[in-house]
Chain A
Amino acid sequence: MSEYILEMRNISKSFAGVQALKDVSIRCKPGQVYGLVGENGAGKSTLMKILAGAYKADAGEIIYKGQRREGASAGDVIDSGISIIYQELALVPRMSVAENIFLGREPQRAFGILDLKSLHERAAKLTARLGISMDTSLPVSELTVAQRQLVEIAKALSQNADLIVMDEPSAILAGSELDQLFRIISSLIAQGVTIIYISHRLDEVFRIADEVTVLKDGELVETRPIDELDRQTLVKLMVGRPLDEIFPQTDHEQGELVLVAENVSTDTILEGASLELYKGEILGIAGMVGSGRTELARALFGADPLTSGTVSLVGEEGALWTTPAKAIESGLVLVPEDRKSHGLFTSLSVRVNITLPILSRLTRFGIMQSQAERAIVEAARDRLSIVMASSDQEAQYLSGGNQQKVVLAKWLETDPAVVILDEPTRGVDVGAKFEIYRLMRQLNDRGIAIVMISSELPEVIGMSDRILVMNNGRIVGEVAREEATEAGIIELATMAGAGAN
């Protein structure tokens, strides 16, 4: 057998007239971590879906464990020892965590009767190994996106694979969860498992990868050992030009108060949150998975009913909102974390997605002004470099990062007083990330206040004027930008007992 566990040779694939991959080759040795990087729409996920048997390549061959693979189905691929953590989570919402982890491989007693006890025991063991405390009998629909991400990882681990592909597994993990993921990866490679790791967070790639492959516009740029690369070079290979990764700042003074939340609780983990938001600032919200950040965003936006407390915009006395529609009317918008189920209209075109919140501006007597609409969509596409075949393409066919850009673009066209961004750069490539940061600062310059939730600590620290740290459903501290350090924030966010009732 050759020294490579996997070779993908000269793979090409096109969709809808878009060449997603052109003549791409990669190969992997056992017990190594391969970073796979590139801009949004570069073809990373497509390459991995071909490996998974989900798509068929137009050309090229796959040699796995010394054998040429022919027409394998997704099931065959899993049986052959390859497991994939997809970027767009693929769990069954109404089934429990344990059932999802062992879907199709449920432990059975005689006569095919499910062994529920063993199912839950094994699921609990796996989640413990991931260092997460989670009730494995909860339906997945009740988990946050980050928790679902962890379930996906547990599911992949349970398959005892020889090769694990992780397509942006860390996109919304932070701190200890991330450390845990890396610990697991190290123990896997010690056992000879091969990992292909896709991420837009380059620090992670440098931290764990042995070798990095860069794709650009569907073509292979280069594969290099990690020690022959530094961050700048890697970024240049990805983007095609050098990029200054400097967080844009504002220089203006703190503005006037725009939004006040007092003692806000909802039927979720969120408990007694109070905050003040000033014009033209970015208020960062940091915290672990499940600490109540998303719940806070939803409470501010009126998406979850408040069980106590008030949220109000200064100057609009009595303008309390109880629904998203009223919040939007009052000048508050939310870019939700869960883009697939809360943000995107997958069966509708990119154009329709982007202009939905500004229909009233684009209509006269209820009639769409299609030229004005197209102009806005074109501008958004250029500004955020959205890769798509045309603006009439259905949103579901865009790559993950490009979908995120569409969801963002949709709200940037509105003219709000307050923007709440829940994981705004999730899955977005480095170039576009800084473009989004610049856009955020432009909003600030117009006096718009931003609440930004992010698991990416460098981003929180780099962009926020102030940072609130959440722990166990409560806001446990405020850190000024000058004093913010990753270690300090993690300490606040993980302090035991903090925030407990």
Chain B
Amino acid sequence: MSLAKTRINPALDANWRLRAFIANYGVYIALLVLLLAAAVLTPKLYAVNTIAVVMRQASQLGIVAIGQTMILLVAGLDLSIGGIFIMTSIVVAEVTNGRDEMVIPAILISLALGALIGAGNGVLVTKRRVPPFVATLGMLVLVKGATQAYTRGVPGGFVPEVLDIVNQSWFVLSIPLLLWLGLNALFIFVLRGTAYGRKVYAVGSNSEAAHLSGIPVDAIRISVYILGSCLAVVSGVVLTGYVGYVDRFIGTGLELDSIAAAIVGGTAFVGGRGGLLGTIAGVLIIQILSTMAILMGLDIEVQFIIKGLVILGAVTLYSVASTEE
């Protein structure tokens, strides 16, 4: 209707536009500011080697954060990621026992087990109506316990040589980075350009309305949990290749970092709002901050404090930007 169009006056309401700007672009500006600050505080960050390391670590976190973001979009949460990492590294070591030709079967088995864990999370959350926090935390404990029972505390097997490929980089390019970029491209497209992506947002925005619109709400939720777990497996394989042996504490902390990255990137905790571009920036912010802290020789506790402050700051900013008046 012409009337609707004539009433739009972009020059109006500077305050509103500032809020919208912060909500939409705040995270990119924060990233930019951080990069500038790094140039002054820790110029070493810009050494090619350091960049390569930062990007490889960012990729690790970033691949997990893709799944975490999608789970947050359906108003869920996944805390079981650490368990999936351990499971993956044990499966890779045990199944291959150092044999390169067994890598593919090992990855497939890990993916299958990951999918099973994800499905478990999803079923608990949808069919049994367990809150995601409780369900996935329980799953974390369960999977960790199962891996310990299986290995009796002494994991066996060897990580095959071929996985060392993840440690190679050409300038800053590396397999993990390419994987991260490729998976991002894929899932950004899925979320924005496919019917499935629409349904993910719809379920997170208003699950009752989605149900009444004929969307299979439970199936969408479960599928997103499965996706999240499978992405964690991918990241777990990369990390196993990096570490080179089976580590009982592998991947610890990634579940919280991935949630932090998504939230800092503007994905709402209550679902239905946000996306992967913001998460990419969130991942970079978190990774650069950690690296800067290390370069500055700060204690690990101080690093945690900084990370905490960044998350709280971001959340406060978003909530201020989105409240009306």
- Write the residues of chain A forming the contact surface with B, with a CB cutoff of 8 angstroms: 14-19, 41, 54-56, 58, 217-218, 301, 303, 324-325, 327-329, 334, 336, 341-348, 352, 355-357, 359-360, 362-363, 366-368, 370, 381-382, 385-390, 410
Contacts and interface: CB of A to CB of B under 8 A. Distances in A.
Interface string B9-22: 11111001100100
Given A17-B8, A356-B215, A370-B193, 6 more contacts: A14-B12, A17-B11, A324-B214, A345-B210, A352-B198, A382-B1
Contacts of B4: 41, 381, 385-389
Given A18-B7, A345-B272, A357 B206 contact: no
Contact of A342 (B192, B196, B208): B208
B12 A347 contact: no
29 contacts: A14-B13, A17-B9, A17-B11, A17-B16, A18-B7, A18-B9, A19-B7, A217-B3, A218-B7, A301-B212, A303-B211, A324-B214, A328-B213, A336-B209, A345-B205, A346-B205, A347-B273, A359-B195, A359-B198, A363-B194, A366-B195, A367-B194, A368-B194, A368-B198, A381-B4, A387-B7, A388-B4, A389-B4, A389-B8
B324 interface: yes
Nearest to A360: B195
B1 A381 contact: yes
Contact of A17 (B10, B193, B210, B212): B10
Given A16-B13, A348-B201, A334 B212 contact: yes
Contact of A19 (B12, B213, B216): B12
A363 B195 contact: yes
Contacts of B205: 345-348
Contact of B213 (A16, A346, A357): A357
B202 interface: yes
Given A19-B12, A324-B214, A217 B7 contact: yes
Nearest to A381: B1
Interface of B: 1, 3-4, 7-13, 16-17, 20, 192-196, 198-199, 201-202, 205-206, 208-216, 268, 272-273, 324-325
Nearest to B19: A16
Q: Which of A301, A347, A357, A387 has the most CB of B within 10 A?
A: A347
A366 B214 contact: no
A241 to B, nearest CB: 12
Nearest 5 pairs between A and B by C-beta? A328-B214, A359-B195, A345-B205, A325-B214, A14-B12
A252 to B, nearest CB: 30
Contact of A58 (B3, B13, B199, B202): B13
Contact of B13 (A15, A54, A370): A15
A19 B3 CA distance: 12
Contacts of B214: 324-325, 327-329, 357
A168 B106 CA distance: 63
Contacts of B216: 325
Nearest to B13: A14
A15 B16 CA distance: 7
A347 B268 CA distance: 10
A56 B206 contact: no
B194 A324 contact: no
A356 B202 contact: yes
Contacts of A41: 4
B9 A19 contact: yes
B205 to A, nearest CB: 4
Contacts of B192: 368
